[in-house]
Chains A and B, each alone.
Chain A
Amino acid sequence: MPSEPITLIKAIMHTLDQEMARNPNVIVLGEDVGRRGGVFLGTQGLLERYGPERVIDMPLAEGAIVGAAVGMASQGLRPVAEIQFADYVYPGFDQITTQMAKLRYRSGGQFSAPVTLRMPTGGGVGGGQHHSQSPEALFVHTAGLQTVMPSTPTDAVGLLRSAMRGADPVIFLEPKRLYRSVKEVVPAEFDFTVPIGKAMVRRIGADVTLISYGACMLEVARAADEMARAGVSAEVIDLRSLLPWDRDTVFESITKTGRAVIVAEAPGKASVASEIAASIAESCLDRLRAPPMRVTGFDTPYPYAQDKLYLPSVTRILNAAKYAIDY
Chain B
Amino acid sequence: MATWQDDSFEAFSEQSISLIDASDRWCGAFDLDLDDSTLIGFYEDLLRMRLLDERLNTLLRTGKTSFLAPCSGHEAAQTGIGRAMRRHHDWLFPYYRDQGLAVLLSSADEVLAQFQASCSDRNKARQMPGHPGSDQAHIFTVASSIAAQIPPAVGAAMAKQIQRSDEVVVTTFGDGATSEGDWHTAMNLAAVRKAPIVFACENNGYAISVRLAAQTATATIAEKARAYGMPGYRVDGMDVLACHYVMKQVIERARRGEGPALVDMAVYRYGPHSSSDDDSVYREADEVAAWKKRDPIDRFYRFLAARELIDEGADKALRDRIKGELAAASERAGAAGTAPVEWLFDDVLAELPWHLVDQRELLLGEVGGS
A residues adjacent to B (C-beta < 8 A): 31-32, 34-37, 39, 57, 59-64, 87-88, 90-91, 126-131, 269, 298-301, 303-306, 309-310, 313, 315-316
Contacts and interface: CB of A to CB of B under 8 A. Distances in A.
Contact of A309 (B127, B131, B207, B363): B363
Given A32-B210, A131-B128, A301 B348 contact: yes
A10 B101 CA distance: 39
Interface stretch (B17-25, B78-86, B176-184, B302-310): B176-184
Contacts of B277: 39
Interface stretch (B30-38, B160-168, B322-330, B335-343): B335-343
A37 B125 CA distance: 32
25 contacts: A32-B207, A34-B209, A36-B209, A36-B282, A39-B208, A59-B179, A59-B210, A59-B216, A60-B207, A62-B180, A63-B180, A64-B179, A88-B146, A130-B143, A298-B363, A299-B356, A300-B344, A304-B127, A305-B117, A305-B124, A305-B339, A305-B344, A306-B341, A309-B363, A310-B344
Interface in B91-142: 117, 124-128, 131
Given A36-B282, A305-B117, 7 more contacts: A31-B208, A32-B210, A59-B214, A88-B146, A128-B126, A299-B359, A305-B344
Contacts of B143: 130
Interface of B: 66-67, 117, 124-128, 131, 143-147, 176-177, 179-182, 207-210, 214-216, 276-277, 281-282, 338-339, 341, 343-345, 348, 355-356, 359, 362-363, 366-367
Contacts of A306: 339, 341, 343-344
- A32, A35, A269, A305 — most chain B CB neighbours (10 Å): A305
A185 to B, nearest CB: 28
A299 B363 CA distance: 12
A35 B216 contact: no
Nearest to B66: A126
A182 to B, nearest CB: 21
A91 B182 contact: yes
A309 B362 contact: no
B345 A298 contact: yes
B126 A31 contact: no
Given A300-B345, A306-B343, A128 B131 contact: yes
Contact of A304 (B117, B177, B282, B356): B117
B362 A129 contact: no
Contact of A303 (B126, B177, B214, B359): B126
A309 B182 CA distance: 33
A289 B130 CA distance: 50
Given A298-B344, A310-B344, A131 B210 contact: no
Given A31-B207, A36-B208, A128-B131, A61 B181 contact: yes
Contact of A60 (B124, B215, B363): B215
A269 B204 CA distance: 42
A206 B80 CA distance: 68
Nearest to B180: A61
Given A298-B363, A306-B344, A130 B145 contact: yes
A62 B177 CA distance: 11
A101 B277 CA distance: 34
A35 B209 contact: yes
A91 B181 contact: yes
B209 A130 contact: no
A15 B181 CA distance: 32
A32 to B, nearest CB: 5
Which 9 residue pairs spanning A and B have beta carbons closest together?
A128-B128, A130-B144, A36-B209, A59-B179, A305-B125, A305-B339, A60-B176, A306-B344, A60-B179
Contacts of B281: 35-37
Nearest to B282: A35
Contacts of B338: 305
B240 to A, nearest CB: 27
Contacts of A300: 344-345, 348, 356, 359
B128 A130 contact: yes
B282 A91 contact: no
A59 B66 CA distance: 28
A36 B210 CA distance: 8
A87 B66 CA distance: 19
Q: Which of A36, A88, A126 has the most CB of B within 10 A?
A: A36
A268 B215 CA distance: 38
Nearest to B353: A299
A309 B356 contact: no
A60 B345 contact: no
Contacts of B209: 32, 34-36, 57
A126 B282 contact: no
A129 B127 contact: yes
B271 to A, nearest CB: 16
Given A34-B209, A129-B127, A63 B181 contact: yes
B204 to A, nearest CB: 13
Contacts of B147: 91
Contacts of A131: 128, 144
Contacts of B126: 128-129, 301, 303-305
A99 to B, nearest CB: 15
A306 B127 CA distance: 10
B224 to A, nearest CB: 13
Contacts of A61: 179-181
Contacts of A299: 348, 355-356, 359
Contact of B355 (A126, A269, A304): A269
A269 B348 CA distance: 14
- The interface centre, meaning the residue of A88, A128, A309 with most chain B CB atoms within 10 A of its CB, is A128
